[in-house]
Amino acid sequence: MVLLEAFTPSTNPLGHQWASALVALIPIACMLITLGALRWKAHWAGLASWALALVVAITAYHMPVTMAVSSSVEGFLYGLFPIGWILLAAIWMYQVTVISGRFDDLRRTFFLISDDPRVLGILIAFCFGGLLEALAGFGAPVAIAAAMLIAVGFGKLRAAVTALVANTVPVAFGAVGLPVLMAARTGGLEVSQVAPVTARICAILCLVVPFLMLGIMDGRQGIKQCWPFGLFVGFIFGAVKWIVAGTGLYNLTEIFAAVISVGLAMVFLRFWKPRGGAEAAERIGIPMDPSLETGPAGRTEEGGDKLTAGRIVMALVPYILVIVIFGIAAVPSVQALLKKADVKMAWPGLSELLSTTGKASAHQSYTWPWLSTPGFLLLIVALLVGIIYRVSIRDLFGELLVNLKKMKFSLITIGLVVALAYVMGDSGQTMALGLFIAGAGAVYPFLAPILGWIGTYVTGSDTSANILFSGLQSGIGEQIGDPANLEAMRSLLVGSGAAGGVVGKMISPQSLTVAATAIGLAGGESTILRKVFKYSIVLIVFMCIIAGLMSTPVLGWLLP
């Protein structure tokens, strides 16, 4: 008796692409409405959205019930491990610095660079966050950057929103260039064709994001008083991205951009000083939502023992360790060694699951990344920090347990969101949405980034979005491109799709949960979504205009 039949996802089960796409939109709309408008708790919004995705997959897309459930379970597990584990390890590392008493030294150390918290916000969230995205990804940059912003006096929500908006332009080349690499491979192109396109679109975005951050941090006053610094850092970050992405070192694009930007920014601050830093320090601690932010702002009054060079080094130890350990792990030989501990298993119930192209689905198997996940590396950092700070074993692991209990609903939310992404992808719903947008024809280049935006919103990963849609982007390029510029059109669409994903990251339910958990406001995802959604819309519209004009003589000269 045959228990399972091969299932190839249909991208148009209702016979009309608009109808199939409209039905596929139901789970996404549910998430946005329940989380953003109805203000449900994130885990309830995730549960309702996943349930609808499951029903749509079974009834409209004719996915076998066993496969739909099995795909959901695999997605839920992936949400817990490695994604949830990475978040837990990042929060644990941060909390170890708090219980050790070194966290205030870190705050005071930041103010040696500048006494203006808006300047520090850009350096921490945009530059250092970019470096963390390059080395780790998976939510760690938002979690760590948000906690650091609270250390310099930011209100909790302001820290979360700032960190989410900052965590955009580095995403396409995060995790040592993996997203853009997968975009090129899936699209059947060389990475040298795709990486420069993605980098140049994101480089232009670099001129916008720091100004949005200044507005979030301190409104019009922040922009008026600190615009030279925002422009300088954005220009340097973007220029380095533009240059490095066109070389064989494309996978180190964000590392170069972050390090060079910080170095030159510190030189810039020797010749330019912002006005109004003291007043801004008071404003950034004002709650954005007093009903939710009931605790005190993170900044404390100056005082205590003198901040010596030794104490400064000790305060920076956790973040130095993050850079060193993740840098070592990124070395190909070390990376290969860590991956040897990965355990791959066939996933039950999905042995006959195929992709939309008829090939075996990647979800037929599941890999346990025991040592190759950033969570393991953050675990090492947390343990080393505990040892260096002389935290007792009882307090060290007691803090881990305390945070695990605090994060239980956050972990459930992440699991449900990834389960939603899996069942939508495996049933054909996500691709149905993509094909509907792809039907725009000649004006499609103006819409290409939207596929990346939607894909990253649904999956929580620019890499996953690129794997999902880059083949489609490349195929559309072949259809609408002139024979003389066929390869350029394919590169533009694949590259702009990868770029579009970076602004979907900030509204992804996974990212919202990471941010809410990092600032100690678990359950505040709906409030954060309402704060960041408008910025995501502004940036995706801007990006669509840039990508579309790059398909015309107006900005066609930007193509490599």
pLDDT digits (tens, 9 = 90+) for 474-499: 888 887 877 777 888 989 999 999 99
Instruction: State the Cα–Cα distance between residues 174 and 134, nearest whole angstrom.
Output: 4
Note the pLDDT of residue 107.
73
Choose among 8, 451, 552: nearest CA to 187. 451
pLDDT at 2: 43
Q: What is the pTM of this model?
A: 0.83
The answer to whether position 133 is within a domain reads yes
**286 DSSP 8-state letter:** S
Asked if the structure places residue 12 within a domain, the reply is: no
Greatest mean pLDDT among 83-87, 211-215, 329-333: 211-215
pLDDT at 299 over 80: no
Domain-embedded: residue 303: no
Does any domain span residue 551? yes
Whether 243 is covered by a domain: the verdict is yes
- Average pLDDT for 355-370: 88
Is pLDDT of 427 > 80?
yes
* Alpha carbon of residue 284 to chain centroid: 24
Tell how many helices (H) and how many strands (E) occur in the chain.
25, 2
DSSP string, 19-86: HHHHHHHHHHHHHHIIIIIS---HHHHHHHHHHHHHHHHHHTS---HHHHHHHHHHHHHHIIIIIIHH
- What residues make up the domain containing 537? 17-286+310-558
Q: Would residue 361 count as lying in a domain?
A: yes
Mean pLDDT of 344-353: 93
d(CA 168, CA 414): 20
Q: How much is the pLDDT for 1? A: 36
Average pLDDT over residues 166-188: 84
Number of domains in the chain: 1
In a domain, 291, yes or no: no
250-267: average pLDDT: 89
Q: Is residue 3 part of a domain?
A: no
Q: Is the pLDDT of residue 294 over 90?
A: no
